[in-house]
Structure formats: structure tokens, C-alpha cells
Structure 1
Amino acid sequence: MRKTSVDGDGERLTRRRALQGIGGVLGALSFTGTATAEDDWINVVERGADPTGQESINPVLDEIPFDDGTTLYFPEGEYLMDDTVRHVGFRGFDLRGDNATIVPAADYDGQWLFKLGTFDQPGEDLHVEGFDFDFTADDTGLRVLQAQVSDDLLVEDLAVRGEHDSGNKGPFLFDVTDPSGIGTIANVRIPDGGEFSANTPGDINVGPSGIIVTSQHDGKLWVRDCEVGPWPDNGLYCSTDGGRVVVDGGVFKNSNIASIRLSGDYSSIHDATVVVDDRRDRDTNQRGIRLDGGKYNWIENTDIHLTDPTGHAISVLNEVEWARIQNSRVVVDGDTPAKAISVSPNAGKIDIIGTEIEFNSPGQALHVRGPSSADADPVYILKSSVTGSGDGSNGRHAVRIERGNGTFDRFDVEQTGDDYRRGIKVTGDGSTFLWGDLETTHIPLVNDADGTRFRGITARSLGDYEGMKILNESSGVELVECALYNGVLEYGNVDVDYDGNWFL
């Protein structure tokens, strides 16, 4: 195993400084490379590495001095590795492949190929690109790249071919350890996923995750246009508290636990596609997206499609202080009970804006739990809809609002399934519904809360039931300018103020 620690204090031109010097946009992180002395560009084949995959290249790499500014260049070929390359504390290091394929040796029982930086000795200014890693042999798979740097991380155009079926660590781990540091992971492809450890010779708990961002990440990391899944223990797994992760594009499929598991203040997902359309015997909870925690988590312009699901499309957990789901589309198909969007009871403020849910399964398209009091953390839903053929066999109501203090503005619900399928049930106090259209097989709207205000609501039952039911001594309920087909069913001693409604 190669072990190095470079602690030099000399100045060098980092990619960040180069971009700043020419007026580049740092946020875009479009690094074009840093000028490097010719002696620091090292062709590993010219140094004796075998490009045919017959002999290990580790003895050759062990003889190469990894000075600051070194670039290791791998020409096209196949390279056998039987040990770890470990390099920490560096300031400037590149690995560049040109259609280069790395193959782990069949008898290699280690856990890493490239371990570049650690959380207590992070590197700085690291660029890795242009490698395939061959896991097509049986019982193959390990961490091909672990990169922990304080700043300036660029990893692009890497692929793993074949299923990770060794029961060892997952292929990628990335952290930017400095709060002001920044990095980009782009076009990393691990579509063949990994096997559950119970079906492998290894003993890692459950099985590997595809891409891990740990609690040591404190900077900002872009994850761009990656292809991930299916993995036994999360596809993209972010467990940071103070760091930020931004998913930009990409396809994430069929991972257990979650295809994207996100945390960290201001972490977000944009323009991504999440699909769950295949289930293995041990896939017990295949969430599409799981938001774990942070001051502001944002899902935007993202498509999530679940077919015969084992988990929710989007889960918002208790440690999330504020979540926004915007301009996205969620489709849930199949006969298995599910939820499209599930909000845990202690989660903070929730916004759903311009989002379409097509729900063709039993269960709840939207389930918002939380304190029922009128001063609870607010729920705000604007210009969003629930459509589809979901039925009432596993919960009659397509939407359950158990938290108080909600505003539902132009929120439409259409559910055409049988088994007494209903639309919205409100049990949280102090909510307001404005200008929504509701159409369901059974009663579209059920209120079991105090202080609920309805204005401009149209509610019609396809089965000729009442448009609305008010029950259990609900008080302070207001209905203004609503169109309620077949009127309102008042169940019990309720207190309702009617003003300018139409009972059709």
C-alpha cells in the first residue's frame, strides 16, 4: 500500500485562484485544468505500468513521487490493481484516464483502490477523470475512489461496470471538509448497482451504498448528471449536517432505503429522474427521495415514478426544518398501498408548489402529519394537483391533512377508484382552502377540525354522494362561495357559517 503525507507550505495556482484571476464564475465549477510543469505530467505506462491487465501496476505507482501538482496519466488500456493507492495532505493532484479501465485483482482482499485524503488529513485541489472500473467478475466490488478534500474537488466521467457483489464498501465516497470549500461530481455512472451482503461472501451491514457523502462534509458539493442504482443501502446517501449537496440532473433507480437520501442545510435536487420499477427479494423499502434533515431542503423540476412500490415516493422526516417541493411530478402505479408524499409529524414548514401527483394505487397521495393545533408549523400547497385512479381499499382519503395551520390554494383532487374513494380529510385546525376543484368516487371533502375556512371550492361525488361531510362537533367552520354537489352532510352537532354557496 502506498502511504504519503505531503504538508508543504509552498504556494501554487489552484483551479479556484485561476478562475478568480480570469473572472471565471466559481459557482459553475467548469474547471478546464491548471497549467502543470511537464515533469509533473507522468505517463504511468512510460514508467512501466502494464496496460494489458496482466501485471499489477501498484509496484510501479509505489515508485512514483506524488509531489504537489503531479498528474498521473493513464493511456488507453486495462490496468490490474492489487493494493490501495493512499495519498493524503496534498495540494494539487490529478488522476487522468484516457479510456482507461481499472480491474481489481481476483485475490485482492482490501477495501479501497484510491484513497485520496482523509477527514483529518484532507487534500486540496483534486481532479479525477476518465476511468472505468471493471466489476464484471463474480464476487467483485470495493471502494474504487474515496476523496476527502478541503476545497477544489472535481471528479468526472467515471463508470463502474458490473454488479458490486462482494459485500464490501460501495464504490464512491466524497467529502469537502472546509465550510467554504466546493466540489463537483459529474457523469459518475454506477447503473448495475450492488448485491445485498446476505448474498455475497462479505459481511458489510445490509449491503453497499452507491455514492456516500459523510458527516465530515461541510462544504458545497454538486452531483451532476450521474446514473445510480440499484443499491441495497441507498443510491446517493448524504449524511451531512452542516454541508450542502446539490443534485443537478441524473437518473437514480431502484435502490433500497432511498434512491436519493439527502440532508444538510440548503441541500437540493433539481432536474433529476427517480424511478422504482423493479424489486429484488430483499428490497423492503424503496423510497424514491428521502429528506433527512436541514434548514431548507428543496426538490425542484424532478420526476419520480414508482411502479408497484415498497416505499414512498418522497419522505420528509422529522429533522427537516423546511422543505419545498416545486414544479415536480410524482407518479405512483400498482396495487400495493403507498404514499406519494409523506410528511413526518415533527418536520417543519412544508411548501408544495406547482406539483402534479398522479396516484393510481391504494393509500395516500399526500399525508401530512403533525400537531393539529392552529399554530403548528405551516403547510402551504399552491397550484398543485392529485389525479389518478387510486382506490379506498387502504385508507379512503387520497389526502390526509392532520397538521393544523395549512393553506391550500388552487389545490385540485381527482380520484376515480372504487372502495369508497374520497378526496381530502382535514383533522388539523385552522386551515384555509381556496378555489380548489375536488371530484372523487365517494365524498370529496371531509372536515373533522375547528376553524377551517373554505372559499370557492367545487366538490362533486361521481357516485352522487354529498360534496362535503362535516363531523364530530367541528366548530368555527366557514363555507364561502363554494359549489357543493348534493349539498353538505352534517354529522353531529357542528358549527358552520354558510355564505353565498351553491348546493347543486
Structure 2
Amino acid sequence: MVFDGGSSLGEGNPANAGATSIDTDVATALDPSAYEDRFSNVVDITDDPYNADPSGEEPIGDALSMAWEDDTLIVFPQGEYKMNQGFRRTGWRDVGLIGQNAVIRHGEVEAIHGHTVDEGEYRGGTMLFRLGTFNSPHEGELVFGGFIFDWSRENSGMRGLYAIINDRAEIRNIAFAGLHDLGSHGNMRVATSSPDAFARVSSVDMSGGGMHYGDTINTRETTDYAGDTNEEGLGQSWSTTGIVGHTDMQGTTLFENCICGPWPDNGMYVQGGGRQIIRNCIASNSGTANFRFNSTDEWDPIPELDENENGELTRDGTYPTSTVENSIAIVDRQPSGTYESGRSIWHYSGEGLIRDCEIVISHEDDAGGPGGNFAIGARSGVTESTIENCQITLQAPADAFYSGTSAPVTLRNVDIVAEGWDAGSAPTDVMDGQTPTLEDVTLNGSS
């Protein structure tokens, strides 16, 4: 497959409808000159003595091992690079791994069980780049991006990046081209490991989505919510999620300008610990939720986001808690291979803020309440939730809001439009669970 160095994968994603304020053009290159002054060493991985093969014929594991050093920027020129096993590094400091429209693909997979490839060119665990653990995170700075992960071949799709960060990370300009169809880990896991750590994930296109493991060659088994595995193998596809956080996170993670297609589990499941921010993103048709987030107190204000006009760091600024803003969620079909309904934005626990978002639901589901389709939901673990300046369009019977918590929940300046069905006459007619506080909330123009 030939890639042109710019991702327009999102153009085929139904979530792009009406996305006039969000940039869906994801570049897939990073300029080394913009980063080289951050590192003492800059190396071209195709140069001697590394000699990585840019034709995609020979695997690059040895070249990566030789080039990876502290305080080093590793550059991948345009080309195609094959990996026949995962690359793991823990406890290193100040490393950049950047491409210039560099295509990464894994070797042929002939048999896979769970998250391990048993037969084929590729062998072992299904994480291509695994950088850091919570016991030994990546220290200092991490720069990663400018890559196209090629899932266009049959039986392709792994976790392109697993990164645990103890300081600062810039992860950007990445496209996952094609359908993730190995039923294993989804595309990315990014998490920060200390309260003052910050990871920015920007301009990621994974609009191709992923398949449920039951529809792939993966022989894994998982259970449903009742703990049963049925004959069709339709347990939930745990971990086959587009982007995921981590339960042990602390600090701040920011996800911006990400395009997320349908996944059998969540689309952008950024919840864990600390503060998570989703802004200017688009997601559609994932099995549990398109955007799922929570918040804990394990984060410190940081200069990048929380400096006030006096140069002071404050927790009461633009992002006082985990936030989803200026993002679009679409539910217009049932995800393949799952029995879960589609939730657009799901605030799972702790405090949270949802603002300036657009949600469209045009798929009707037989279930209702917490098991059915809803535009925005607050779960029982939520301690306070604010939803403001949002537009919800229900083109099929569905709830605009569901609350499973008795904690304070406020909807403010929210317009709900029901098209083509009798939704009732008041906003509460399209709400279920605990009744929130409503301030300037309308259904088809009526409050």
C-alpha cells in the first residue's frame, strides 16, 4: 500500500458530519529540526551502524536496540519498516522516536491467542512499542510520532504504543491505516505516573476502528457481564479499545484532535487516575462508550495548562477537573460483534465537566436506562458533574441523559432536538435515572 504522507482516513467516518470546528486533517510527519535542540544526539536509523531497512523487507529490531540511548532523537526517514517482535524499554530518559511519514507494520500473523502471536513471522506479545512501566516509567522527555501504522493487510492490528510517562510526553501526528482485525490490544495506551507529569496526545487518526475478537482469527475467550462465555464467543472484547488510560495514572493527560472510529469496547477510554482532558476530538459507534472518563485528585497544576495571568499555578483555571470539550460523538449503528448499546459520553466517576459538545444518536436500541443508548451519562461513582453548552440531536428514540448517581449533576444551556419521533414535550421526557438540575435546557425549543 502506498501512503501519501497525510491522513484523510477520517473523511469516511460518519463522525465527521457537521465537524466544522474540528480539524480532521492529521499529518503523519514530524520535522527533526523542530526537536533536535532538545536532545544531545540525533541519529538516522537507516544510517550506519544501525542500517534499518526502509523497504520493509528486513525487521528493524536490532537497529532499534542499537539506536535507543538516553538523550537521543531517533529519526525514521520516509519508508516502510517491519517489526517481527515488540520493542520494550523501561526507565530510560529523554528519548525521541519520530518519523517522516514512516510506515510501521508488523510481520505476518498466522495464529494468535489473546495478546500473544503463536505462529507467523511476528512472534510474541502484541505491543509494538512498549515504553515504560509504573515501576520503571520513562523519565524526562518522550517525543513519539510521525508514523503510519499499517493495518491495511488482513490479520493486522496491535497496540502501536504503550507509554508510561513520569515527566513530559509529546505524542502526535500518527495514523492507524485500515481496520484493526486481530482482536487483541487496541491502538494506544498512554498514562502519566506522577501528579506533576503531563502527556499530550495530539492529531491521531484511528477512524478505521477495530473488530471484535469473535470475528477475527484470535482464539481468545472473554466473559460477559454475568461471567458467562456463550457458544458464539460474544463476551465483551476487553481491551480492544482505541485509546486507553490506566487505573494507576496520576497527573494530566490531554487528548486533542483525535479521530476515533468504531471499536468493540470503548473508543477513547481515557479514564484512570488524575485529570483527563479530551478536546477537539471526534468519535463514533464504539461498543461501550465513545468517550469515557473520570477524575481523581492525584494531579498538580502544570505550566502548560494552569498558569494564571499572574504567572501562578492554580487548580481553578480552565481545566479544574477532567473535561470533555468541543468534541463530537455519533451513534448511528450497533457495533459489530457486541451486545452493548452505544453511549456517546460517559462520565464514570469523580468530578467532571462536559462542555461545548455535539452528540447525534440515530440508532434505536431495545434496551433502556443504563443499558440503552444515551447521549450523556453519569455513573454511580460520580461525585459532581456539569454539562453545559451542548447540542444533542436524537434522530431515533434514545435518552439524551442518564444519571445513575444521586450526587450533584447540572445541565446548563443544553439544546435537545428530537427528529422523526414523539419524544414528549419536556426535557425530562428524554432523561432516565436520577433527575439532574436543569438550567436553560430545552427539548425542541421548549423547557
What corresponds to 1:147 in structure 2? 163
How far is 1:155 from its partner? 0.3
State the match for 1:172 in structure 2. Answer: 188
Structure 2 residue ranges without an equivalent (≥5):
1-32, 109-119, 223-235, 297-320, 366-372
**In structure 1, what is the Cα distance between the partners aligned to 2:437 and 2:362?**
28
Output the amino acid matched with 1:41. V
Retained in 1: the 8 A contact 2:291–2:345? yes
Q: How far, CA to CA, are the matches of 1:196 and 1:103 in structure 2?
A: 21
Structure-2 separation of matches of 1:347 and 1:189 = 37
Answer whether contact 2:334 2:341 (CA < 8 A) is retained.
no
Say if 2:220 is the partner of 1:220. no
CA distance in 2, matches of 1:216, 1:223: 18
Structure 1: which 5+ residue stretches go unaligned?
1-30, 371-377, 388-411, 414-435, 437-504
1:49 aligns with 2:52: yes
1:342 is aligned to 402
Conserved in 1, the CA contact under 8 Å of 2:243 and 2:267?
A: yes
411, 415, 422: which one pairs with 1:356?
Answer: 415
State the match for 1:429 in structure 2: none
Higher RCO (CA 8 Å, separation ≥ 6 residues): 2
Task: Assess, with a 3 A threshold, how the Cα gap between structure 1 residues 365 and 90 changes in structure 2: closer, same or farther.
Answer: farther
Task: Tell me how far apart the structure 1 counterparts of residues 248 and 101 of structure 2 sit (CA, whole Å).
Answer: 32
**Which digits, 9 at most, give the CA deviation of each residue in 1:387-412, with x for residues without a partner?**
1xxxxxxxxxxxxxxxxxxxxxxxx6
Name the aligned partner's letter for residue 386 of structure 1.
L
Closer/same/farther in 2, CA of residues 130 and 350 from structure 1, 3 Å limit: same
Asked if 1:369 corresponds to 2:433, the answer is yes
Is 1:59 the counterpart of 2:74? The answer is: no
1:232 is paired with a residue of what secondary structure? coil
What displacement does 1:33 show? 3.5
**Structure 2 CA distance for partners of 1:62 and 1:321, relative to 1, 3 Å:** same
Matched residue, 2:117: none
Partner in structure 2 of residue 16 of structure 1? none
Distance (Å, rounded) in 2 between the aligned partners of 1:331 and 1:349: 24
| Aligned counterpart, 1:244 | 275
Residue 243 of structure 2 corresponds to which residue in structure 1? 211
1:279-318 correspondence to structure 2 within 5 Å:
279-283=334-338, 284-294=340-350, 296-310=351-365, 311-318=373-380
Residues 344-384 of structure 1 deviation map (CA, whole Å, 9 limit, x = unaligned): 1x3410111111011234666542534xxxxxxx9421122
| Structure 2 contact 250–275 (Cα < 8 Å) conserved | yes
- With over 3 angstroms needed to count, the CA separation of the structure-2 counterparts of 1:180 and 1:34, relative to structure 1, is farther
Letter in 2 for 1:48: N
1:6-405 residue pairs with structure 2 within 5 A?
A: 33=35, 35-36=37-38, 40-46=41-47, 47-64=50-67, 66-106=68-108, 107=120, 108-109=122-123, 110-124=125-139, 125-202=141-218, 203=220, 205=222, 206-207=236-237, 208-240=240-272, 242-265=273-296, 266-283=321-338, 284-294=340-350, 296-310=351-365, 311-334=373-396, 337-344=397-404, 346-360=405-419, 361=421, 366-367=430-431, 369-370=433-434, 379-387=436-444
In the aligned structure 1, how far is the partner of 2:335 from the partner of 2:342? 10
Matching residue's letter, 1:53: G
Letter in 2 for 1:88: T
8 Å contact from structure 2 (residues 212, 336) kept in 1? no
1:37 positional shift: 5.4
1:193 is aligned with what amino acid? G
What is the CA-CA distance between 1:119 and the residue it aligns to? 1.3
Alignment partners' CA distance in 1, 2:429 and 2:203? 33
Is the 8 Å Cα contact of residues 245 and 264 (structure 1) preserved in structure 2?
yes
User: Contact 2:287–2:335 (CA<8 Å) still a contact in 1?
Assistant: no
- What is the distance in 1 between the residues matched to 2:326 and 2:274? 21
TM-score (norm. length: structure 1): 0.66
* Range moving further from structure 2, 201-210 or 141-150: 201-210
Matched residues in 2 for 1:58 and 1:216: separation?
Answer: 30
Residues 365/55 of structure 1: CA separation in 2 closer, same or farther (3 Å cut): farther
Report how many aligned residue pairs link the two structures: 346
Could you tell me the TM-score, scaled by structure 2's length?
0.74
RMSD of Structure 2 on Structure 1 (CA)? 1.9
Asked if the contact 1:158/1:187 (under 8 Å) is kept, the reply is yes
Mapped to 2, the partners of 1:169 and 1:94 lie a distance apart of: 24
Q: 1:353 and 1:114 mapped to 2: Cα distance? A: 43
Q: Secondary structure at the match of 1:219?
A: strand
For residues 290 and 245 of structure 1, what CA distance do their matches in structure 2 show?
A: 13
Q: In the TM superposition, what whole-angstrom CA distance separates every residue of 1:187-241 from its partner, at most 9, and x where no partner exists? A: 011001000111112226433100000112111011001001200000011331x
Separation in 2, partners of 1:379, 1:137: 48
Quick one: structure 1 residues 347 and 45, their matched pair in 2 at CA, closer, same or farther if it must change by over 3 Å?
farther
Asked whether the 8 Å contact 1:359–1:365 carries over to 2, the reply is no
Paired with 2:98 and 2:72, the residues of 1 have a C-alpha distance of 11
SS across alignment from 2:63: helix
| 1:271 to partner: Cα distance | 0.4
How far residue 138 of structure 1 moved from its aligned partner, in angstroms, is 1.2
Q: d(CA) in 2 for partners of 1:117 and 1:44?
A: 21
Which amino acid in structure 2 is aligned with residue 63 of structure 1? M
- For the 8 Å contact 1:55–1:80, the answer to whether it is kept is yes
Name the amino acid aligned to 1:325.
Answer: I
Secondary structure at the residue paired with 1:138? coil
Distance 1:302 1:32, change over 3 A: farther
Q: Would the aligned equivalents of 1:148 and 1:177 in 2 still touch at CA under 8 Å?
A: yes
SS in 2 for 1:41: strand
